[in-house]
Structure 1
């Protein structure tokens, strides 16, 4: 076995530029595979972290009529709050606001200013405001859309629980920063007790956000939404992105297959006499086939070595410093930061190593099959079956 590995390595080194060209192309493919796998994994982790910290937490309890995709149902989707220390109640209503003589339909969210479950602080909602006004907070995206600044006010209109429309002046006490469009885009935030009073539903909420994995049991009107359920849409989005990357990887892998297959086929044809001599000296056709397969696998070993030496520092730098995304990510409508940090895993490296090894084995075995039909005397004469 050691003899075969030595012969395989000797043959590759003797091939010179042809060998290193194949190794370089294969190394670029391996680098791309590892990079894309780390990029999508890092993006997935980043999106999950943002959503969990700013909205999903450890899970939620939804009112049985609550549907975030149906704004017309929000006025009826609320019930008595559940008194539990790990739950943060939030009342969500549909309403309209009138900044700069414009009407904008929006979600009106009421949240306890003292809550500690979400990463965004709403303590500014306790600030004193002029009589007749209510304090409100908006996200950076919403403030940009409304063209409002801290200290400016506008009218908020909603429909009360009794069906009457009512309005009040709200004053912006803070503009918060969040990469989660769920709590930023098309939403304003008021103190929970103020919104309950305005709506005429004291001690009511639309959802509860849990600070601990031990979510209180569901009731007749409150349904449990686990963290996995709330992140399902994000997981699907990342899967779609990964499938797009797999198409590129498949094209690169096919090119590598053709390159190695062509190299091995030509090598076997030009080395007919050499292979015949090896079999005449005692090597079986199976051993000669193994020698050719080892040569193909050595392309992968050299390519992985090249990626480790030159690509390793690049991967480390990208994971540490991140990749700056050009343009404004706010317009993407997903929870992602301006700097994307890839995350590389042992599973990703092993998956890449195994897939490339299998590809090289098949690409080398396919043309080497004819060696099993090769007679030593015929090969030495230069004949080929």
Structure 2
């Protein structure tokens, strides 16, 4: 890319954009196939997930509970789940008791379905966040985990849990501040008359190591054993015990960050052309990098605040989607919106099944971050071996 004349590359970019049209990318068969396959994985894996528990039910019964018209056609129930009871009563003016639901429906909608919804949000946020960081750094090995964002957000949330418990209601903002601070530190360390992909990755490893050590040190300041257990579960990345409160916590930040990411796809495409070409197209490179990084940090923070540090999703998903739909970020962002949830929901089911095989019961739950780490570690090694030069994209 660096050997290409910036003005020629800029003209080629403009002409290609004019030829493709605004919505031509939506008709890409590979993108449509990826989205449909991802939806199928989420539905099937989600049904398997909500069938498990002390009240076991067949997949067919779980599906009937999900599509129960007593919930789907009653706005009061839906508003209570997604907005909370207080807001539901404020919006609808209803002050009585909601109608009773069947036992299976009550278990699925109150306890099990929110876990699948949170997994969808987490996968979506981490995948898109990783894709943005890969565009900002022009490095296929970049991700929130590798660049220290996850560790920075994690440290701030641990501080909130252990020291400043009053901040628990604004965990996504707290995590965003920690993630942005970590990324700024990485950027400053990597800066030397500019940055390079290799320096950004190495600086991210340094910052992650330091912040993870501080996270470990925080356990010695926690007097409550319950807080320690929660923190340990949180640092490994887990969906155990999540409910509609976590859905409501992640929902607004997910909508904002995904909307902004979709609007910014053109800027990400321009960044891939190189700094000189981007400048010749009238783009303020540093401002765009900072704005895109802010979106990526917010997306990662929204997932970290509800599920903890789930590693490697932001690395694996953008790379897999890129191999299928190409490097156009209009398609890549949409692909990540679908493929990220498929990986997370599938990994969560894999964690549940793995625990069942080991223990012989369906009561135990393995943190989903362990599964994504076991998958992502070898895949990261594969990427490093495949690339002749670190930073190649």
TM-score (norm 2): 0.24
TM-score (norm 1): 0.24
Bigger strand share: 1
